[in-house]
Chain A
Amino acid sequence: MTEPLLVAHDVHLSFGTTAALAGASVQVRPGEVLALLGASGSGKSTLLHCLAGILVPDSGEVRYRGQRVDDQSDAVRSSLRRSDFGFVFQFGSLVPELTALENVALPLQLAGRKRRDAEAVALQWLERLEVGDVAGKLPGEVSGGQGQRVAVARALVAGPRVVFADEPTGALDSLNGELVMELLIGAAREQGASVVLVTHEPRVAAYADREVVLRDGALAAEVCA
């Protein structure tokens, strides 16, 4: 059996007196599409943030490729997000003042790539995701569907091993939602990247290889597709 790429073990996290995660454990295998499901407030987004190194759990551990992530410095976790992880969120993931092309090129530039190189790669990804025509537009000037495809392109441009997607179709109509999911999953599979998907929509969860249901901050059930 393949070694898990990403592991959360007995993770606890509270915001003040509210426990968001209460002993949640989950594994993500290489190339796998994992959906985190659950009711509002069940802790699925918080678990995704812990897996991605955005939040640090109060206890428990998160390992990526066998190495602890949760006890690493902010700089190391930032570096991981830059090189190995990609993100697609429902809102707020694009820089509103940058064009679509500049947004997609941003992770490469932060990693030290030259601007021209970074933008050349970014344009290829935009075209691959069928939004090459909006490369010069600002996020506020494109439709919701186009914006999410730009976000997908940005999530994949640095060749991540894991893509974290938090309600990626939450603000889209069903047609656009399906299009975004197909492009996201298709491109991730082509890259060999795993996808951790938070959703409450069965249609979106259907793209996953495995579904994990959370309740009250802990794993309640696991379903293989």
Chain B
Amino acid sequence: MTSLLLGVRLALRGSRGRVAVTGLALAFAVAFLLAVLGALPARQAKIDRLADRQPVSVGTMAAAGQRPVQPVVTISSLYSSWRGRSLSGHEVVDVKNGSILPPGVARLPRPGELVVSPDLAGALRGPHAAELAVRLPGKVVGEIGAAGLSGPRELFAYVGVSRPSPPYPGQEVLRFGYRADRADISPELRVAAQLGALGLLLPVLVLVATATRLSAGTRDRRLAAVRLVGGTPRQVALLAAGEALVVGVLGSALGLFVFRVLRPVAAGLVPVEGGVFAADLQPPSGQLVGVLLAVPVLSLLVSLLAMRRLVVDPLGVRRRSRRLTRAGWWRLVPLCAGLALLGAMWVRDNDLEGGDVALLLGGGALTVIGLAVVAPVVSRLAGLALVRFPGTASRLAGRRLLADPSATARTLTGTVLVVFVGIWLLAFLPIVKASSSSQASDLSAALPGSSVVVNLGSVLGPDAESALRALPGVRQAVSIRSAQLARPGIRSVDEATQPEDLAQVAVARCADLGAVFGRDVRCGTAAAFTLREHRGDVSGYTKVPPGRRVVLGSDGKPVGEVVVPASATEIDLGVDGWTFQAGTFLDPSLLPPAATKAFSSMLLVRTDGAPATTERVRNALFSQGVYGAQTLDEQLAQEDRVVLGYEKAARLGLVLAVLVGGVSLLVASVDAVRARRRDLASLAALGVPVGVLRRALLLEVLAPLAGCLGVAVASGAFAAAAYLSADTYYRDQVGLPWAAWGGATGFAALVVLAVTALTLPLARSAARAEHLRTE
């Protein structure tokens, strides 16, 4: 215990600089881990906040077998958008005058009053408030507190009305707060999340290990001196453990403080709609305590493990570790084994199932270990290559690498592993994207993102379309209706038993379509037309053969007949028929008047792209009872929110992980230059220019880096290709993301370069003659 306490004192009193640097590095690791661990709880908190304000209707209670009681609030939900942001809320009829309240609301608004979120209140006070007046009529009488919002930047409102606006009748609400089961995550995303967590954890572990071994040379001298005056090996080990414990505890405490201070900033970076409350970015208490304890314990273990490889005697410290003087081909075994397991997925050639997931994760883990194990071999090969060059700098760097290839390899391992995991992770993003292909994403290929697209269960009247066209900034507004045509003789949709019995067609004027898509289409005189396919007909929406057909209404009964013309003109709108769920388009003039009302439709409004125009369109549609009008960009953002969230999180995680790796490298590089002051000073005293020393330091990192990154990229690409081969559905649709891989690798190399460049100025001070003094 005395030795442990002495170690603690040595850390606190003796080597404050080292303790400060190590503590800061560990604090960075702790804060980073806490932020990462807080991300999923933040997502869950957002879901819970939404659930907590979820209205529970009479119907829900009855379905749950509960006895309905007197309803007290009638609510009708509003969904809209404003300037690219989701705008939602409820129309509220407070039947019993405030007897139930949603969370965060002091009192429900009366007719003509609004209770809104702080950001929406700001918008209503801002210069564009008029754009919201139609949808949010009334006076703001209160703001919703944090308990009633899913995020600090959410636009949410309770609108007081005397009765819900038509066509929605509203629902009678008994209380607020309904927690449904959590949504299940797809296997792809689960694997991606696991890989991401691994990718983030690895550099943090490397950073902790690097920081703990900081200033090993100084520590070695201290330990030898203690042995000289009679310290036993056990006392020396305890002394080193005490020091490691101090920096670990300090790092944990400081990390928690940094996390608390920077949490609002980190919460602001989380890429979700409406933002995340800083308080929600909080790891579960078990994980929090786990991290705070794990870092000192890890620091202690690293220190003790390092001590096991040292022989500390009174004359100095010797390392038991073997210098890697031969190629050590055995080091290739784990990497080859890992890649072989991944390669086995190619051979199995079936969809991801239990066995494949085991192969994937087992192979991935072995490959990660293999990359770390093989790095010294690559480093040594880089040394062998460097000594062949005639320059002094390359000779010095090469000899140094050959003398101790593990040292440089260790500093690069964190970055190299991040690149491997990152490359694998990046391969998942196209798959996730491909799985979320939608009407909006198809339309966005042919229409400006600012176009408003609305799917309606009914059809707007011709006056409404004209009114939209008349709005300032609107270029074109077109309704594309859909209709079901049945084979003659069929009197009900239930009688259609064969695929050819039924067909869906789209109904629109060819010239209108050309105008809204901004294309010069040659419509000709035909009243039927088809769209040129761009992705191939994968939809199953076949072209309707010519002849007489029965038109079915929304109730599945015939409402009239239509004659499909013998010839159809093919036009190119830049989108496929699949987008409109139709293989054939018919001119409205062909359809019987009785059929018009029965159709569902898609409304396309092309605008000048100005946000004010979009809001005008939205307000006009709102007046027609159409709430959810969104631009293509907004729809895509909403549809891709999860995908984009994962994508952004993956990229952000990669950047952070590479930066953590960079911090490790910086800490190790600065320490290495300091530890080699005497050697560098000797070389400078011999007349070696500082520039040559700098080049040598640079080459010492860059040569093995190039090799290690090459191995990591090749292994990552192989792992990704193996994964893709196991997925029979996506392998033909999704290519390997070489550009993203190049970007990730380039970024990692750039960070390493920048970090190495930062340490180069130290070479001048390290090479000063005063460092020739031993003590």
A residues bordering B, Cβ < 8 Å?
49, 52, 54-55, 74-75, 78-83, 85, 87, 89, 91-99, 102, 106-107, 109-112, 139-140, 147, 154
Q: Indicate if the CB atoms of A97 and B2 lie closer than 8 Å.
A: no
In the assembled complex, 10 residue pairs joining A and B whose CB atoms fall closer than 8 Å, in A order, are: A75-B232, A83-B230, A91-B774, A92-B775, A94-B225, A95-B14, A110-B6, A110-B226, A110-B229, A139-B775
Q: Indicate if the CB atoms of A78 and B218 lie closer than 8 Å.
A: no
Residue in B13, B224, B231, B774 whose beta carbon sits within 8 Å of that of A110 in the complex: B231
Within 8 Å CB of B774, what residues of A?
A: 91-92
Which of B15, B225, B233, B775 has the most A CB atoms < 10 Å from its CB? Answer: B225
Within 8 Å CB of B3, what residues of A?
A: 110
Residue in A55, A82, A93, A96 whose beta carbon sits within 8 Å of that of B230 in the complex: A82
Q: Is B725's CB within 8 Å of the partner chain A?
A: no
20 more A-B residue pairs beyond the given contacts A54-B314, A110-B3, A110-B231, with a C-beta to C-beta distance below 8 A = A49-B315, A82-B231, A83-B230, A87-B228, A87-B229, A91-B774, A92-B316, A95-B225, A96-B218, A97-B14, A98-B10, A99-B13, A102-B13, A109-B2, A109-B6, A110-B230, A110-B235, A112-B2, A139-B775, A154-B229
Whole-angstrom CA separation of A112 from B774 in the bound complex: 31
Within 8 Å CB of A82, what residues of B?
A: 229-231
CB distance from A191 to the nearest CB of B (A): 17
Within 8 Å CB of A83, what residues of B?
A: 230
CB distance from B229 to the nearest CB of A (A): 4
Within 8 Å CB of B315, what residues of A?
A: 49, 54-55
Within 8 Å CB of B227, what residues of A?
A: 78
Q: Is B313's CB within 8 Å of the partner chain A?
A: yes
Within 8 Å CB of A97, what residues of B?
A: 10, 13-15, 218, 222
Whole-angstrom CA separation of A83 from B234 in the bound complex: 17
Q: Which residue of A lies closest to B316 (CB)?
A: A92
Q: Indicate if the CB atoms of B15 and A106 lie closer than 8 Å.
A: no
Q: Indicate if the CB atoms of B13 and A78 lie closer than 8 Å.
A: no
Q: Is B221's CB within 8 Å of the partner chain A?
A: yes
Q: Indicate if the CB atoms of B313 and A98 lie closer than 8 Å.
A: no
Which of B221, B230, B232 has the most A CB atoms < 10 Å from its CB? Answer: B230
Whole-angstrom CA separation of A98 from B228 in the bound complex: 15
Q: Which residue of B lies closest to A106 (CB)?
A: B229
Q: Indicate if the CB atoms of B775 and A96 lie closer than 8 Å.
A: yes
Q: Which of B220-258 contact A (CB under 8 A)?
A: 221-222, 224-235
Within 8 Å CB of A112, what residues of B?
A: 2
Whole-angstrom CA separation of A92 from B221 in the bound complex: 7
Within 8 Å CB of A93, what residues of B?
A: 225, 228
Q: Which residue of B lies closest to A97 (CB)?
A: B14
Whole-angstrom CA separation of A78 from B233 in the bound complex: 9
Given A92-B224, A98-B10 in contact, is the A107-B230 Cβ separation under 8 Å?
Answer: yes
Within 8 Å CB of A87, what residues of B?
A: 228-229, 314
Whole-angstrom CA separation of A52 from B233 in the bound complex: 17
Within 8 Å CB of B2, what residues of A?
A: 109-110, 112
CB distance from A142 to the nearest CB of B (A): 11
Q: Indicate if the CB atoms of A95 and B226 lie closer than 8 Å.
A: yes
Whole-angstrom CA separation of A102 from B226 in the bound complex: 12
Q: Indicate if the CB atoms of A92 and B6 lie closer than 8 Å.
A: no
B 200-233 binary contact with A (CB < 8 Å = 1; else 0):
0000000000000000001001101111111111
Within 8 Å CB of A96, what residues of B?
A: 14, 218, 221-222, 775
Q: Indicate if the CB atoms of B229 and A81 lie closer than 8 Å.
A: yes
Residue in B10, B233, B314, B775 whose beta carbon sits within 8 Å of that of A91 in the complex: B775
Q: Indicate if the CB atoms of A81 and B228 lie closer than 8 Å.
A: yes
CB distance from B771 to the nearest CB of A (A): 12
Q: Indicate if the CB atoms of B230 and A95 lie closer than 8 Å.
A: no
Q: Which residue of A lies closest to B3 (CB)?
A: A110
Whole-angstrom CA separation of A70 from B232 in the bound complex: 16
Within 8 Å CB of B222, what residues of A?
A: 95-97
**Which 10 pairs between the two chains have the least Cβ-Cβ distance?**
A82-B230, A97-B14, A81-B230, A107-B229, A78-B232, A97-B15, A95-B225, A54-B314, A91-B774, A95-B222
Within 8 Å CB of A92, what residues of B?
A: 221, 224-225, 316, 774-775
Residue in B10, B230, B316 whose beta carbon sits within 8 Å of that of A111 in the complex: B230
B 160-204 binary contact with A (CB < 8 Å = 1; else 0):
000000000000000000000000000000000000000000000
CB distance from B656 to the nearest CB of A (A): 34
Within 8 Å CB of B15, what residues of A?
A: 97
Q: Indicate if the CB atoms of B14 and A98 lie closer than 8 Å.
A: yes
Whole-angstrom CA separation of A79 from B233 in the bound complex: 11
Q: Which residue of B lies closest to A102 (CB)?
A: B13
B 759-775 binary contact with A (CB < 8 Å = 1; else 0):
00000000000000011
Q: Which residue of A lies closest to B232 (CB)?
A: A78
CB distance from B703 to the nearest CB of A (A): 32
Q: Indicate if the CB atoms of B226 and A106 lie closer than 8 Å.
A: yes
Within 8 Å CB of A85, what residues of B?
A: 230
Whole-angstrom CA separation of A147 from B226 in the bound complex: 16
Whole-angstrom CA separation of A107 from B227 in the bound complex: 10
Whole-angstrom CA separation of A87 from B221 in the bound complex: 15
Whole-angstrom CA separation of A49 from B315 in the bound complex: 9
CB distance from B674 to the nearest CB of A (A): 13
